[in-house]
Amino acid sequence: MLQRPRRNRKSEVIRQMVQETHVSAANLIFPLFIVDGENQKTEVASMPGIYRYSIDNMLREVESCLKLGLNSFDLFPNIDEALKDKFATESHRDESLYLRAIRAVKKEFPEACVITDVAMDPYSSDGHDGIVENGEIINDATLEVLGKMALAHARSGADIIAPSDMMDGRVGYIRKVLDENGFTNVSIMSYSAKYASAFYGPFRDALNSAPKFGDKKTYQMNPANQQEALIEARLDEAEGADFLMVKPGLPYLDVIKLLKDNTQLPIAAYNVSGEYAMIKAAIQKGWLNNQRAITEVLTSLRRAGASAILTYHAKEVLENKWL
């Protein structure tokens, strides 16, 4: 035999020499859950090792992450039910929990990259990503709310705006609002291919943001569809997106690869709460090796084409020097 591929696998040194895919701290984005109050740190029951933080403790967590080389954070608020309404007005109120959190991070750690979530569901009394009228999600009226939200985030110091709502036309609407108000340097990381997935449950527990009725299938994508992701991605790119995201990550590696092969924009992947919970449950049972399982997951997302990975494993892998 002239060709023996095993020769390139015969030692650790050679295996590392020919390794095709690498994951580093620069590729990772750490999602953080925020609650009101002081000195609050409560674990999310379905996400071992992940916590809801009050702003003071969130700043301590950000500081510890920065020392590890983890510099990018996506913030998500747990909003009191009493503050929720049909039009998500709390989402752009100047002294809201979320806007205070953004300002606090950027004041204390201006070097940190703050990514913000633009969607109505954490603030909506209906628990949906858009305005609800007679049981229907109203697309165009929702855009105005999303625009107000995005502008409030930019004014508070957000580096990247990440609309996760899946309303048609929202990237172009938000880009126009930002540019008209002088925020031409604020980026948009669009949730371009966000699927109506079964893997979001723990996240909704963390934020208490589940829909009060029905589901999200009229705006989030059908898990059976791949080409539809190209339609969404091309529209977002044309409307001014700077990143295209696929969510969830692991069940949609083919979609990440598809988008990577059809755009010059960087691809982001969200390694979502259900994926995290699944891995952690198996690790706790002793069914999977902690380090090997987690690093394999992150490597697979990079290999498929993701430049940025939102993952709840981010701090753990850096603390343990697994990358």
Q: Which residues are part of the catalytic machinery?
A: 194, 247
CA–CA separation, 237 vs 140, rounded Å? Answer: 19
Which of helix, strand or coil describes residue 189?
strand
In sequence order, the β-bridge partners of residue 311 are 271
The residue assigned the tokens 């990079």 is: 302
Does 232 count as an annotated binding residue? yes
The residue assigned the tokens 């009101």 is: 36
CA distances from 304 to 251, 254, 260, 308 (A): 12, 7, 8, 11
> At 32, which helix (H) or strand (E)?
strand 28-34
SS3 content of the chain, % helix, strand, coil (to 5): 45, 20, 35
Contacting residues for 176 by C-beta, under 8 A, at least 6 apart:
none
Binding-site residue positions: 232
Binding-site residue positions for Mg(2+): 232
